């Protein structure tokens, strides 16, 4: 995702959808639709009152998990 930092930032601040990880309830997956029916996925973890960006990648679909937003 080097060179796409603004796209990752937009995904975190204005996602189209947020899902909770199936394997770790402290991990959230933020999705934002981009061109060609792909998504930017920014994976963030809660640590106390802070959040940490774990990774970001291009996905072809939204993964399963509890839908947090929008409800």
Buried b or exposed e, range 28-59, using 16+ CB within 10 angstroms:
bbbbbebeeeebbbbbbeeeeeeeeeeebeee
Confidence of residue 49 (pLDDT cuts 50, 70, 90): confident
Single pTM value for the model: 0.91
Q: What is the structure's pLDDT at 10? A: 96
Q: What is the structure's pLDDT at 48? A: 84
For 3-15, give the DSSP string.
Answer: T-HHHHHHHHHS-
The answer to whether 1 and 23 are in contact (CB under 8 A) is no
Residue 42 confidence (pLDDT) above 90 = yes
Q: What is the structure's pLDDT at 36? A: 83
Residue 41 confidence (pLDDT) above 90 = yes
Chain centroid to Cα 62, Å, comes to 9
Residue 71 confidence (pLDDT) above 80 = no
């Amino acid at each position: 995702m080097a060179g796409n930092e603004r796209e990752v930032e937009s995904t975190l601040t204005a996602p189209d959808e947020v899902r909770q990880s199936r394997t770790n309830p402290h991990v959230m997956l933020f999705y934002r639709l981009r061109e060609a029916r792909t998504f930017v996925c920014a994976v963030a973890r809660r640590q106390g009152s802070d959040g940490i960006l774990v990774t970001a990648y291009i996905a072809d679909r939204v993964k399963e998990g509890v839908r947090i937003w929008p409800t």
